[in-house]
Amino acid sequence: MTLVVTPLPPTERNEAPPRRGFVALAVRPFPRTLLHMVRLALAVAAAALLVAVVAVVDHRHKREVEFAAQEDAWFCKHGRPSACRDFDENAYEERWERRELAYRLGFFALSASALGLTAVGLRRRRGEAERRRSS
């Protein structure tokens, strides 16, 4: 009995065998869906951070305006009529409270969305990994 060995074509000879098992799952890159979900979650988290920064800057501006108005009111009462201005502190505070509510709602909605997108992306990755293991 003679054994005949035929060489493989060059393209098939250099290919690695298909990966299976735990090592293969650890080496494979993330699926595209996970990368898209993580990128989207990072973008939403960056938007939440931007909302937080704008809220802090706006709050500091509000405090400066209120301090200047209080200072002008003090000078107006104590003999400097040039400092007298029409400033409705209550209306200004109400406008700030509406803006603050919008900042808070926007920040928490965006933060929750970023966490949700991350969780969905990781769950999909785990589901894909389990499907690969079972097949």
What is the per-residue pLDDT across 45-67, written as a single tens digit (0 to 9) for each? 999 999 999 999 999 999 999 99
pLDDT exceeds 90 at position 122: no
Indicate whether 20 belongs to any domain.
Answer: no
Mean of pLDDT over the chain? 80
Please count the other Cβ atoms lying within 10 Å of the Cβ belonging to residue 51.
Answer: 20
What tokens were used for 113?
Answer: 């969305």
Which own/partner contact pairs does 57-64 have at CB distance under 8 Å and 24+ positions apart? Answer: 58/96, 58/99, 58/103, 59/100, 62/92, 62/96
Residues 6+ away with beta carbon under 8 Å from 4: none
Please count the other Cβ atoms lying within 10 Å of the Cβ belonging to residue 12.
Answer: 8
Q: Is 33 helix (H, G, I), strand (E, B) or coil?
A: helix
Indicate whether 68 belongs to any domain.
Answer: yes
CA atoms of 80 and 78, how far apart (whole Å): 6
- Which whole number is the average pLDDT over 20-29? 49
Number of domains in the chain: 1
* 89-134 vs 32-77: helix crossing angle, rounded to 10: 170
* Interval 75-104: pLDDT, tens: 888 887 777 878 888 899 999 999 999 999
Indicate whether 12 belongs to any domain.
Answer: no
pLDDT exceeds 60 at position 13: no
Indicate whether 24 belongs to any domain.
Answer: no
Lowest mean pLDDT among 2-16, 38-52, 100-114: 2-16
What tokens were used for 109?
Answer: 């909605």
Report CA 132 to chain centroid distance, whole Å. Answer: 30
Indicate whether 45 belongs to any domain.
Answer: yes
Domain that holds residue 125: 30-134
Indicate whether 63 belongs to any domain.
Answer: yes
